[in-house]
Structure 1
Amino acid sequence: MWNFSSGPSMLPYDVIHQMSFDILDWNSTGVSVFDISHRSKYFEIIYNEAESDLRELLGLSSDYCILFMQGGGQGANAIIPMNIIGRNGINMADFIVSGYWSSKSYIEACKYGDASIVASSNYAMKIDYQDCNPYTWFPKIESIKTRACSSYLQFCSNETINGVEFVDWNGLVNSIDGNAVLVADVSSNFLTRELDINCTGVVFSCAQKNAGISGVTIFIVRKDLIGMSLNICPSVFDYKNVVNSESRYNTPPVFAIYVSGLVFKWLKSNGGIKRMESNNLEKSRMFYDFIDSTSFYTNTIHSSVRSRVNIPFFLKNDFLTDIFVEKAESSGIINIKGHRSMGGLRASMYNAMPIDGINALINYMRDFERYYG
């Protein structure tokens, strides 16, 4: 079965294979990885290796901390403003809205201070969805200007639902007015391509797409931003507490961190991020070339910001969508249905998805078009 889910996504086979042993006996200790305490020397090994391997993969500066937290993307949208929106003495933050998730970030931040949309790729500046994709491009950098007293500028590097990917992070940094820092939601393109994390203040990623399983959210925080939380911030979500306790202020998601550690090792042994970027470019190019070769399927995202990892597409006749999904599953292709807010279809092609899976999907789509076109 080829799993095209946006998350939880498929894991590399080698990772699942190793898990099958460690669930019964981790590292020849006689202890299941399920039974490992977060206060034990065993977890100390798991945690330290995961943190070290991820830092190496990213080429991360010593100016940054890596935090393994909980809460997912929804939680991160609250954790970030509660930690840094007040860093300038004024609770103010700016947002670029380029799709569903960046709009969620903005809406959540409004609870903690003066949040403003400084750029949007939705002409109507709407934050609602009506079974369509109002976001098909990313705002031009020259149109983006932060407010002078803003604490940070937040954007989504890859809109998982809308299929818009933006990677000119340094260009955004240059558009910042004042001393705001850049905050990036990288949940769905984390580890899929080289990204300049060292130009940001905070990035976060939910692990269940390219970095493991659901349950852990990875934050990368510049050290000078730690210790500025609002009084209302729960102690368990205060970056300072999490850093000082090495992500063990409360019981962390031990198993999820362990799986992320295995994924990092798999990445290192398979050419690292540079190799993943090459693979993902090839996979997405194959799929877009096929989409563009036929009028039976459509993708409306501007070519300059088409996502390499989340590709929404639609059938010329929407009546056929449910039939497409049903027959796809019987052909070994699962979780291809589009997000409920947009409808249509979506293929998520993360690091663990091999080219064979893309070929299987394209062949199925060709057959479907021959029969129903």
Structure 2
Amino acid sequence: MRHNFGAGPCILPQEVFKQASSAVLDFKDGLSILEISHRSPEFEGVVEETVRLIKELLNVPSGYSVLLLQGGASLQFSMVPMNLLPDGKTAAYLETGVWANKAIKEVKHFGKANIVASSKESNFTFIPKDYVIPEDSAYFHYTSNNTIYGTELFTLPVTKVPVVCDMSSDIMSRQIDVSQYDLIYAGAQKNIGPAGLTIVIVKDEILGKTGRSIPSMLDYQSHIDGGSMYNTPPVFSIYVAMLNLRWLKSKGGIAEIEKENIAKARALYTEIDRNTLFRGTCAIEDRSRMNVCFVMENPELEKPFAKFADENGFEGLKGHRSVGGFRASMYNALPVTSVHALIDLMQNFEETHKNNK
């Protein structure tokens, strides 16, 4: 058995793989999901159910639209200021990692980015606190979970400024109050489905206020008016996302999966803190539940542990090149048995290398 701790694309439930593979062969009357018309009633039903499940699972209030788009979260780095930031105005950004930094770089094409706080000097090992968001900001943008560095922001800052959040790697993993946000976007490939789909949840009343002429494909309103089918949508990605959201609902929804995610993270962090060969890399209060980053106390043991993990069926534990060490990504579909298998692996490695620490 292989244990998939890869940072993305995400692990998905086996039952979702089986249902999706069946639909590749025969989705409707002998037609594959890969060849079905996106204008067919059957696929329109898939889109409607996917949107309905997102709204139900996240308890999206009225006055918000849910969009199923393409281009990944990276396209949203540009679409957000294009749709929300008037020319010459300033938006507030919290710099907590590579993806936040990439979002900041795109703002210059439309206005100005004010970095209200940053943890760059510490290589993003913590979430900045006690910063001030200027009230004249067009919006405040932050990344809720930083996959590379293993930090997560659980408490939304108090502000009257519209809030925009990149939730690519922790959406659907914990309960949130959508009404506190004006726009949420997320690449689907962590907890929702396969790569190729991007979810946008936008408060309708914040749109159309920049005075800017926006190309149709980059205008949120175009996709709202077109029911997420202004152009040909990522059919297979949406279908698999629907299956995965059905699975999440069957498990009791986000409230129940959050309990599992808390238990998985607590168990692994406890072992990292106990084990004499390993140590965490982030501030304890900011540790991510989704991406657990750790290093060896003795760097010379890094390659032996990586080899030991591979020989015992563990995938995706290598840390990002900018951080090094190891990263265990524990998205919704990762079973708790895999986490305990990793803990056993770490304990076995400690037992055989305790004199080399």
Q: Same fold (TM over 0.5)?
A: yes
**Paired residues of 1:201 and 1:225 also in contact (CA < 8 A):** yes
Q: How does 1:232-247 map to 2 (within 5 A)?
A: 233-247=214-228
1:135 to 124, 130, 135: 124
Q: 1:113–1:296: structure 2 CA closer, same or farther, 3 Å change rule? A: same
Which residue of structure 2 aligns with residue 35 of structure 1? Answer: 35
Distance 1:108 1:262 in 2: 34
Which residue of structure 1 aligns with residue 241 of structure 2? Answer: 260
- What TM-score does the superposition give when structure 1 sets the normalisation length? 0.91
Q: How far has the Cα of 1:229 moved from its partner?
A: 5.7
Is 1:151 matched with 2:138? yes
SS at match of 1:23: helix
Which residue of structure 1 aligns with residue 288 of structure 2? Answer: 307
Q: How does 1:1-373 map to 2 (within 5 A)?
A: 1-26=2-27, 28-86=28-86, 90-122=88-120, 124=121, 134-140=123-129, 143-169=130-156, 172=157, 174-176=158-160, 180-228=161-209, 231=212, 233-373=214-354
Q: 1:340–1:244: structure 2 CA closer, same or farther, 3 Å change rule? A: same
Q: How far has the Cα of 1:90 moved from its partner?
A: 4.4
Distance 1:96 1:230 in 2: 26
Distance 2:5 2:345 in 1: 14
- Structure 2 unaligned residues grouped into runs of 5+: none
Distance 1:71 1:121 in 2: 28
Q: How far has the Cα of 1:227 moved from its partner?
A: 2.7
Distance 1:65 1:210 in 2: 20
SS at match of 2:34: helix
Q: Which amino acid aligns with 2:81?
A: P
Distance 2:320 2:213 in 1: 33
Two-structure CA RMSD over aligned residues (Å):
1.6
Q: Which amino acid aligns with 1:202?
A: L
**Paired residues of 1:90 and 1:149 also in contact (CA < 8 A):** no
Q: How far has the Cα of 1:207 moved from its partner?
A: 0.6
**Paired residues of 1:82 and 1:232 also in contact (CA < 8 A):** no
Runs of 4 or more off by more than 6 Å in structure 1? none
Q: How far has the Cα of 1:162 moved from its partner?
A: 1.1
**Paired residues of 2:88 and 2:110 also in contact (CA < 8 A):** no
- Structure 1 unaligned residues grouped into runs of 5+: 125-132
SS at match of 1:34: coil
**Paired residues of 2:92 and 2:141 also in contact (CA < 8 A):** yes
SS at match of 1:250: coil
Distance 2:214 2:306 in 1: 43
Which is worse superposed, 271-280 or 322-331?
322-331
**Paired residues of 2:275 and 2:347 also in contact (CA < 8 A):** no
SS at match of 1:32: coil
Distance 1:308 1:52 in 2: 26
Q: How far has the Cα of 1:297 moved from its partner?
A: 0.6
**Paired residues of 2:277 and 2:297 also in contact (CA < 8 A):** yes
Q: How far has the Cα of 1:157 moved from its partner?
A: 0.9
Q: How far has the Cα of 1:366 moved from its partner?
A: 1.6
Q: How far has the Cα of 1:37 moved from its partner?
A: 1.6
Distance 1:299 1:11 in 2: 26
Q: 1:230–1:283: structure 2 CA closer, same or farther, 3 Å change rule? A: farther
Report the number of matched residues: 353
Distance 1:40 1:92 in 2: 43
Per-residue CA distance 1:283-305 (angstroms, 9 max, x = gap): 00100110010231111322222
SS at match of 2:194: coil
Distance 2:141 2:183 in 1: 9
SS at match of 2:233: coil
Distance 2:190 2:101 in 1: 20
Q: Which amino acid aligns with 1:104?
A: K
Distance 1:327 1:110 in 2: 46
Distance 2:300 2:10 in 1: 27
SS at match of 1:137: coil
Distance 1:116 1:168 in 2: 21
Q: How far has the Cα of 1:232 moved from its partner?
A: 6.6
Distance 1:189 1:208 in 2: 11
**Paired residues of 2:281 and 2:295 also in contact (CA < 8 A):** no
Identity of aligned residues (%): 38
SS at match of 1:36: coil
Q: Which amino acid aligns with 1:144?
A: Y
